[in-house]
Amino acid sequence: MDKLGINLGYFLFQVFNFTVMAILLYAWAYKPIVRMLENRKEKIAQGNEDARIAAEARANAEKDAAKIVAEAQAKAAQTIREATERAEVAAKDVRAAAEAEAAKARDGALAEIGEERNRMLGDLRGQVAALAIAATQKLVGETLDEKRQHALINEFFSGVKSGKVVVLEGADVAGASAEVTSALPLNKDEQEAVKANVLSKMGKQATVSFRVEPAILGGLVVRVGDKVLDGSVAAHLEGLRKSLK
C-alpha cells in the first residue's frame, strides 16, 4: 500500500485536520452565518407578510374608494337629472308665461291699433261727408236741406234708414251670432240701432259684433251663420255694372 501512498500517519493527519477545521469553521463561520441566514429569511418572510397586508389594505381602500366614487357619481347624475327636469319645467313655465305675456301685449296692441284706426276713420267720416256734400252741391247745383243731406250721408255709410237696417228688411235670418261690417265705424246710436234691429230678428240671446271694412264703400254687410246679407254700396255698384253690360 505504500506505493499507492496510503500511510496511516498522513491519513490520521487528514482526519485530525478535518476535525479541527470542522470545529473552527463551526464556531467562526457556520453558526453566525446560519443565524444570519435565518434572521434574513425571517425578515424577508416578515417583509412579505407586511407587503401582503399592505396590498390587502390597499385593495380594500381601492374598493371603498371605487364604491364611494360610484355612489357620488350616481348621486351627481341624479342631481343633474333632477336639475335638468326642473330647469326644463321652469323654462317651459317661463316660455309659456312669456308667450302669454307676448300674446296679451300683441292683443292689446292690436286692439289699440284697431281702436285707433276706427277713431281715425270716425274722424274722417265727418270730413268725407262734408266733401261729398260739397261735391254734390257742385254737381247738382242746388243746395239740399242741410239736415236732410247729413241724414242721407249717414244712411249711405251706416245702411240704417230711420232706425231700421236696410239689408234686413224682409230677410229671414237665424243664428247665434251676427257680424256687421260697415265701411266706416258706426257711432253709438247707430250701433245701438243696428244691434236692436238684428236682435229683434234673431232673438235676444244672439251676440252682435262690428267690423270696419272701407272696401265695401258704404252700407252694411250682415253675416249670420253661413248667410251673408250684402247691402254694401260696392255690391250695388257691382250689380249696376253687371246690368249695364
Contact 28, 20 (CB under 8 A): no
The total number of residues shown for the chain amounts to 245
CB under 8 A: which stretch of 2-10, 54-62, 213-221, 227-235 binds another protein? 2-10
Q: Which of 23, 124 has the CB closer to another protein?
A: 23
Shortest CB 32 distance to another protein, Å: 4
DSSP conformational letter for 210: E
By CB under 8 A, the residues from 179 to 208 that bind another protein are none
Total residues binding another protein (CB under 8 A): 33
How far from chain centre, in Å, is Cα 145?
64
Compute how many other C-beta atoms are within 10 angstroms of the C-beta atom of residue 219: 24
By CB under 8 A, the residues from 20 to 49 that bind another protein are 21-30, 32-37, 40
Shortest CB 40 distance to another protein, Å: 8
How far from chain centre, in Å, is Cα 61?
48
By CB under 8 A, the residues from 4 to 23 that bind another protein are 4-7, 9-11, 13-15, 17-19, 21-23
Q: Does 144 bind another protein (CB under 8 A)?
A: no
3-state secondary structure of 189: helix
Q: Which of 27, 83 has the CB closer to another protein?
A: 27
Q: Which of 13, 48 has the CB closer to another protein?
A: 13
Helix (H) or strand (E) holding 177: strand 177-182
Q: Which of 29, 109 has the CB closer to another protein?
A: 29
3-state secondary structure of 202: helix
Contact 217, 233 (CB under 8 A): yes
Q: Which of 9, 141 has the CB closer to another protein?
A: 9
Residue type, position 226, single letter = D
Of the candidates 177, 184, 229, 232, the residue with the CA atom closest to the CA atom of residue 205: 177
**Residue numbers at the binding site for another protein (CB under 8 A):** 1-7, 9-11, 13-15, 17-19, 21-30, 32-37, 40
